[in-house]
Structure 1
Amino acid sequence: MNWLSPPRVRSALRIASALLGLGVTGLLLATLWPEPDRVAQGAPLSADQPETLAPLPEAPVTVLVIGLDADRLGAASNQAAPEGPANADALLMLRIASKEPLQVLQIPTELGVRLPGEKDPGSLAQLWRRGGVSLVSDAIRDIVGLDAGDPKRYVVMPRAALRRLVDGLGDVDVVLGQSYQREDKTQGFNVNLQAGRQRLNGVQAEQLVRHLPDPKHLSQRRQRQTIFVEAVIQQVKAPSGIGTIADLVDQLDGEVETNLSRSEQLSLAAAIIASPEPVAVSRLPLAERAGEQVLRQIRPGSSLPLWPQP
Structure 2
Amino acid sequence: MAASDQQRLKRWFGRHPLRTMLRIAATLVGVGVSGWLISIVWPEPDRVARGGPPSVSDPTSLAKFPAMPITLLVIGVDTDNLSDPTNQAAPKGPANADALLLVRIDAKQPLRVLQVPTELAVQLPGSDQPMALGGLWRSGGVSLMADAIREIVGIADTDLQRYVVVPRQTLRTLVDGLGEVDVILSQSYKRTDKSLGYGVDLQAGRQSLNGAQAEQLARLLQNGRDYENRRLRQQMLMRSVVDQLQAPSGIVGIRVLLDEVNGQLETNLSYSEMLSLAAALIASPAPVQFSQLPLAPAVGEQTLRQLKPGLPLPLWPTP
Q: What TM-score does the superposition give when structure 2 sets the normalisation length?
A: 0.86
2:74 counterpart of 1:65: yes
Give the whole-Å Cα distance in 1 for the aligned partners of 2:222 and 2:54.
Answer: 46
Instruction: Judge conservation of contact 2:78–2:96 (CA < 8 Å) in 1.
Output: yes
Aligned equivalent of 2:43: 39
2:32 counterpart of 1:29: yes
Aligned equivalent of 1:143: 152
2:285 counterpart of 1:252: no
| Greater than 6 Å deviation, 4+ residue runs | 40-46
Q: Which amino acid aligns with 1:246?
A: R
2:133 counterpart of 1:129: no
Aligned equivalent of 1:6: none
Q: Which of 73, 78, 101 pairs up with 1:92?
A: 101
Shift of 1:309: 2.0
Q: What TM-score does the superposition give when structure 1 sets the normalisation length?
A: 0.88
The 1:86–1:43 alpha-carbon spacing in structure 2 relative to 1, beyond 3 Å, is closer
Shift of 1:43: 10
Q: Which amino acid aligns with 2:43?
A: V
1:1-310 equivalences in 2 (<5 Å): 28-31=31-34, 35-36=38-39, 37-39=41-43, 47-48=54-55, 49-310=58-319
Shift of 1:27: 5.8
SS at match of 1:234: helix
Q: Which amino acid aligns with 2:156?
A: D
Deviations 1:40-69 (A, max 9, x none): 979999941211111111100000000011
Shift of 1:148: 2.5
The 1:210–1:47 alpha-carbon spacing in structure 2 relative to 1, beyond 3 Å, is closer
Shift of 1:29: 1.1
Shift of 1:24: 10
Give the whole-Å Cα distance in 2 for the aligned partners of 1:238 and 1:152.
Answer: 29
Give the whole-Å Cα distance in 1 for the aligned partners of 2:105 and 2:279.
Answer: 10
Q: Which amino acid aligns with 2:275?
A: L
Shift of 1:109: 0.2
Q: Which amino acid aligns with 1:95?
A: R
Q: Which amino acid aligns with 2:167?
A: P
The range that moved more, 135-144 or 149-158, is 149-158
Q: Which amino acid aligns with 2:42?
A: R
Q: Which amino acid aligns with 2:34?
A: T
Q: Which ranges of structure 1 fall in alignment gaps of 5 or more residues?
A: 1-21
The 1:185–1:24 alpha-carbon spacing in structure 2 relative to 1, beyond 3 Å, is closer
SS at match of 2:227: helix
- Identity level (%): 55
Give the structure with the larger helix fraction. 2
Query: Number of aligned pairs?
Result: 289
Q: Which ranges of structure 2 fall in alignment gaps of 5 or more residues?
A: 1-24
Deviations 1:190-212 (A, max 9, x none): 10111111110000000001111
Shift of 1:213: 2.1
SS at match of 2:236: helix
Instruction: Judge conservation of contact 2:295–2:308 (CA < 8 Å) in 1.
Output: yes
SS at match of 2:280: helix
Report the RMSD for the aligned CA atoms in angstroms.
2.2
SS at match of 2:126: coil
Give the whole-Å Cα distance in 2 for the aligned partners of 1:118 and 1:258.
Answer: 29
